[in-house]
Structure 1
Amino acid sequence: MLRQRLSAALLAIAMLVGLQVATTGPAAAAPRILYYDASQAQEFKAVVAQGAQIWNSRVANVQLQPVPAGRTPNIRVYADNGWPRTYSTSLGNGRWYMGREAVNDGYYQPRIAAHEFGHILGLPDRRTGLCSDLMSGSSAPVSCTNPNPNSTEASTVNNLFRSAAAVPAREFTWVG
C-alpha cells in the first residue's frame, strides 16, 4: 500500500516538473518466416506461390516465402499423379504434394495449394463439406473455388505461431 502511494506521488511530481514518463507494452513479435521450395512442383509453381500469398494476406504471425539461395527450406512442394497430401514433421515444417488426380477431377488449384499449406501451418482436415471452410478439402463440392481460410482457420494459425506450440507430425491425404 505504501509502495503504491509512493509510486503515485513520484509520478505526480514528475508530471508537475514536466518530465515525460514513458510506458511500453510488450513489443509485437515479428512474424515467423517459413521458406518453401517449389522447384519440384513442376507446372504448379505459380499456384504454389498463390497459395502462399493467400495465407500471407490472412495471417500475421507467420509468413511463407520462397526459399532464398543457400538456405534450407522449411517446406518442400512436389507434383505427382496422386491425390494432394501433406507430410508435416513439426509445426511449419514438412512436404506436400500437388496431386494431379484432384486437379484432373476439377478441384480448384489455388484451393488445393492453400489447403495443403494449411496442414503445414498446423490445421487438420475438417470434412464439413462447406466451401467456406478451406480445411474441408475434398468434402466440399468440386465446384468450390474459395481458396481462403475462414476467420477461425486464420485465427488458429495465428495462435499456433504466437505460442510456437509443437504440432505432432502427421500425414494428410485428400480423399476423392
Structure 2
Amino acid sequence: MIIDSGWDFVQLTSARMNWSDPDSRRLFVVGMDRDLCYFFARVVTERFNGDLSSSAEQVVDLVDEDYIRYFATIEQVPELDTHDWWVHDADGNSITAELERVSEARGIHHIGHYQLDPTSWHSTGPMHSFRDYYKPDLPKFEITRPPQYDGWRRATKSADRFGFSDEFEETNDPAIG
C-alpha cells in the first residue's frame, strides 16, 4: 500500500529516470487500486513537454484499467521550478485541472503531480502522508493497539508520538546521573 504519498512515488520512479540524457524528460504514471495498493509504474513518454492538459487523454488511457482507482503523475525535470506558482498554467488554472476532469469522468482519481530533479522533488498533492490529504475519499489507515496489550506501557506518550523525549522523568539520583 502506498502510505507516504510523495516519497513512495519518488522511490518507485527515481531509479527509472534517465539522468544521463539532459534532454530526457520522462513522464510516469503510478497506478493504484481502491486501497492504494501499488499496481504499476509506467512511462507515458520519454520527452514530456510539461503540458498535462494536452496529455490528459493519453495519460488516462494508460491507467484506465478495471482495478485502477487512483493514480499519480511523476515528471522528470532537469531542475525544479523554484517559484511557488509552478502548479498553475499561464492563465492561472491548476496544471492538473484537465487531467482531473478527464480521469474523474472515468471514475479514476488523480491524486497529485510530482516533479523530480536529480536532487529534490515537489508536488501538487500530499508531500508527507495521505493522513493529511485534502481529498476525503482516499482510504485512511489507522494503527490500533491490540486488546491484549491494553495494560502495557507505551513506548511514547500521546503528546510526543515520534520519540522518547518525554517518556521518563528526570531523576535526582547521583548514582544514575
The structure richer in helix per residue is 1
Q: TM-score range by the shorter chain?
A: under 0.3
> TM-score of the superposition, structure 2-length normalised?
0.22
> TM-score of the superposition, structure 1-length normalised?
0.22
Bigger Rg over Cα: 1
